[in-house]
A and B are shown apart, each in its own frame.
Chain A
Amino acid sequence: MIIRASSLGGRAGLAVALLFSTAAGAQDRPAPDPDSAAAVVIAIPPLATAKKVDTDAGDTWTLANQISDLIVADLKSTSSFIIANAKAVRIPSYPEVTAPSYPQWRSVGAKLLVSGFVNARSDGRLTIGCYLYDVQAGRELDRQGFAVTPTEWRRAAHKCADAAYTRVTGRAPTFDSRIAYVARSGTDEQPVKRLAVMDFDGANHVYLTDGAAIVLTPRWSPKGDRIAYTSFEGGRLHVRIADVDTKADRPLLPVGDDSFAPAFAPDGRTIALSMSVGGNIDLFAVDSGGGIPRRLTTAPSIETGPSYSPDGKRIAFTSDRSGSPQIYVMDSDGSNQRRISFGGGDYGSAAWSPDGDKIAFTRRDGPLIRIGIMSADGSGDRIVSAGPDDEQPSWSPDGSRLLFQRLDPGSRRTLLAMVPARGGEVRTVITPQSAADPSWAETQE
């Protein structure tokens, strides 16, 4: 796997310079089917350091342990890895990072080995190197090196975990990604809702709005530099755009008709949204810099909740033209509208998968509100969460998992939860407060 240095600018202002990267033998076998592949045993010993040096993020020896711990945590959060017991084996010395002692890793059953180093540079930054080895064959599979500020060591660790993850599963990277959501405090009658952003694992949590106005449904731009969201600021329901790094924030459209439910097109230049014009709620497309909205739908019913296909050619959305909210698909110019949800009950919050094949949704059926997935043509409708109050699915960048909002029946608070797209164990994502409306950043290259 090769990560181009230019592609690492996904987060403006972060200097995660790629120092080296190889992909030895990257093309020598087809990518395995991630859903059928058995879990791989992987050894992840603490990183080595040439010299213990104090940095802004602690000394390099401590960082070496923290980085390997984070790689372990990332890979353990998937079902594709079993972590070998590295405690039974001598911690690799610095020279062994590039010349591993394969027999000792075979002795603990490892098929793969991640090793690496962290060194302090004279300019105050860190050099973090990451190596992936095939223990059985005794050869290097991949290496990556990063120059980061000490406070950005987590990103390098996530990228290292991504290297192992993409190698084993054939999927897109997923750990060096961020989640936007709405943090909720206050009371039921007077809720305080703030736009929040955090790393995929909950680190680096920041608020982008101050809670003075209720905010809803954040959606990432494809590059991860902006978030479109719905706001009640000024007592007016309207879509706003927040710049994630500068926190600059502006209305998308001038004062006028109510607008809500934004979604970025994959090109990042267009936003689809709902507008209420003359008492009719339809979908429109508007340039992400503003401008005149272009009408996409004309039906007298409600059209809302748009989600673009990854090629940008189609839009999934919610309409109640049949008498109840259902999911429809149309071309991105509004033509060829047709209903695809027929599983019974009410549907909404369509989310098109990164591979373009599937659409996740919320389905209300009797007392249960659950998350489900169907093919983009509407076939194969299946439920993947148990409910009873789940909502708002958002795909992981690699399409393997769904992040969604869940009402915890005990505390009556909403939280974020993840479930594998094929179904399985639901994991709670820790947030400082009640959490709703998650959006997982789309693929960072």
Chain B
Amino acid sequence: MNCKLPILFGVSLTIAASAASAQIPWPRLPVIFPLGGSQPGSPPPPGAAPVTAPPAALQAALAASAGSDTVYFSANGFTLDSNAAATLTAQARWLLTNAMVRVRLEGHGDSTDTRDYALAIGERRADSVRDFLVAQGIAPERISVLSWGKERPGSIRIGASSVAAGPRVVTVIQ
């Protein structure tokens, strides 16, 4: 599903907004609007997405602002590399700005993991992301965690073909 986002940054962005399924990693965008500085409970600053916006629009706004709603991991890995840390730092900034938004961190295993291990490592990856976001100042109550194991393999389109999205955590607006 595509949706138009005409207002937020003064430019019109078309973003694949199906967050639960994997998608083309959105190219990193420069942060146009200065974000951050808000505390939970304070009124949203002018740059914040309206809290009444539908989740799909908020999801697209998060992805646009942070560069992606998804961070990727190596096989059997759950530590955050520098790309993931940069993306999550930007996600944290957006979440601080949009203080009413709650997120679910959806962890995924690899399709070649065994069923049990995929559930476990997906959970572990989502926990890594939660710990990072909490360390960035996001209140733990705003974050829930779910592992899909290898039940939502997702796909990334590369030209005409698609490959499995693989080990990742998607930050899904609730």
**Within 8 Å of chain A (Cβ to Cβ): is B166?**
no
Query: Looking at chain B's contact residues, is the secondary structure mostly helix, strand, loop, or mixed?
Result: mixed
Q: Closest Cβ of chain A: how far from B124's Cβ, in Å?
A: 6
**Given A323-B76, A325-B76, are A318 and B116 neighbors across the interface (CB < 8 Å)?**
yes
By a CB distance below 8 angstroms, the chain A residues around B76 are: 320, 323-325, 346
B113:A348 contact, CB within 8 angstroms:
yes
**Within 8 Å of chain A (Cβ to Cβ): is B112?**
yes
B117:A237 contact, CB within 8 angstroms:
no
By a CB distance below 8 angstroms, the chain B residues around A113 are: none
Lowest 7 A-B CB distances belong to which pairs?
Answer: A348-B114, A279-B127, A305-B116, A261-B116, A302-B120, A304-B116, A304-B120
Residues of A within 8 A of B (CB): 188-189, 191, 193, 214, 216-217, 230, 232, 235-237, 258, 260-261, 274, 276, 279, 281, 302, 304-305, 318, 320, 323-325, 346, 348-349, 362, 364, 369, 389, 391-392, 436-437
Q: Please, could you name 6 A-B residue pairs with CB atoms under 8 Å apart, sorted by A?
A: A188-B155, A258-B146, A279-B124, A281-B123, A305-B117, A391-B114
Q: Closest Cβ of chain B: how far from A258's Cβ, in Å?
A: 6
- Chain B interface bracket (under 10, 10 to 19, 20 to 34, 35 or more): 20 to 34
Bitwise, B93-114 to A at CB < 8 A (1) or not (0) is: 0000000000000000000111
Query: Looking at chain A's contact residues, is the secondary structure mostly helix, strand, loop, or mixed?
Result: strand
By a CB distance below 8 angstroms, the chain A residues around B124 are: 279, 281, 302
A261:B119 contact, CB within 8 angstroms:
yes
**Given A216-B151, A323-B76, A346-B76, are A237 and B119 neighbors across the interface (CB < 8 Å)?**
yes
A279:B116 contact, CB within 8 angstroms:
no
Q: Give the distance in Å from the alpha carbon of A258 to the alpha carbon of B117 in the complex.
A: 14
By a CB distance below 8 angstroms, the chain B residues around A193 are: 151
Which B150-165 residues sit within 8 Å CB-CB of chain A?
A: 151-155
13 extra A-B contacts, CB within 8 A, seeds A279-B131, A281-B124: A189-B154, A217-B115, A217-B116, A258-B145, A279-B130, A281-B123, A304-B120, A305-B117, A324-B76, A364-B112, A369-B112, A391-B115, A437-B115
